[in-house]
Amino acid sequence: MLSKKRITVTGGKGFLGRHLLKKLESCGCLNIKVADLPEYNLTDINDIRRMYEETKPEIVIHLAAKVGGIGFNQDKPAELFYDNLIMGAQLLHEAYLHNIEKFVALGTVCAYPKFTPLPFKEKDIWNGYPEETNAPYGLAKKMMLVQSQAYRTQYGFNSIFLLPVNLYGPGDNFDPRSSHVIPALIKKCFDAIDSKSDHLEVWGTGAATREFFYVEDAAEAIYLATLSYNKSNPVNLGSGSEISIKELVKIIADLSGFSGQIIWDKSKPDGQPKRMLDTSKALKEFGFVAGMDIIEGLSRTIEWYRENRHLLK
């Protein structure tokens, strides 16, 4: 039972981290520690060792990441590669050295090849190179899968690797310099309404498709995997459905109350052409199935932003 375990969550102050902490607490976990900035710089081996000594975890759930949308990936590929690689490699290695019972590594859908057949199956993760704009980030995170499998083979160390698709929900990152598509679009709609603009500009053609995963569903999936999954084979986490960016923009505009024209900047990249996961393994291995409908999830996210955006400026 997890309720009696000492659990450390890296990145626990972040978007997913805050929701996971609530989930763990609601399930009776009382001994939870957070390892995040500024207390711990998880790219620094000395801070990582200090974190293990101070929090004394039995289980580590590694959520911490440097992450952003297409623009952020284009501007900072080296930082995204190095910071994510060094965090994952050192945290997992020190977990092994400290005899941690279980290490839960969060990967990313960006690890999949650019032209993976739909729906993405875990067995296809090595069948090609990731989409170029987010390859440094995706490959850095995927190295935790290699490390997890290698450490299980050589040392018998229990670590797992989960592959979540794009997250969204209340409390998301709405900073336009680093936000993902849903919060970026929501902010654009509200900004356009505030300025009484009759149009807003969106990157790409709108033809790309994406799968979006409500953050509370993600927290539930991570909890269930931490509770009962003990293999190093990767597992997809998602909703199992896709939507085009063009349709997504229309829904967000309607729910936000923006009625102007959408202008597509086709000089900007679409990113990966299609993205949708086969989530059957998560159901089979630890009984997870997503519960949130995209319309309801977007409605809740937009309402949260409407009520809290004055605090974000």
Torsion of CA 96, 281, 10, 294, to 10 degrees: 170
Which residue in 40, 52, 112, 137 is the catalytic one? Answer: 137
Structure-block tokens of residue 112: 């999949």
CA 40 to chain centre: 20
Spatial distance between the Cα atoms of 17 and 215, rounded to a whole number of angstroms? 10
Q: What region, left, alpha or beta, does residue 165 occupy, with left being phi > 0 and alpha being psi -120 to 50 degrees?
A: beta
Tell me which amino acid residue 185 is. Answer: L
Q: Phi and psi of 152, rounded to 5°?
A: -70, -45
Q: Return the SS3 of 262.
A: strand
Spatial distance between the Cα atoms of 95 and 192, rounded to a whole number of angstroms? 47
Element (DSSP H or E) covering residue 223? helix 215-228
- Which residues touch 59 (CB under 8 Å, ≥6 apart)? 2, 5, 6, 7, 8, 100, 101, 102, 103, 104, 226
Nearest to 6 by CA among 101, 95, 88, 119: 101
Cα distances (Å, whole numbers) of residue 76 to 1, 31, 129, 131:
41, 36, 19, 15
137 is catalytic: yes
Angle at the Cα of 305 from the Cα atoms of 27 and 299, rounded to 5 degrees:
75
Helices 215-228 and 15-26 sit at what angle, rounded to 10 degrees? 60
Q: Give the chain's length.
A: 313
The catalytic residues are: 137
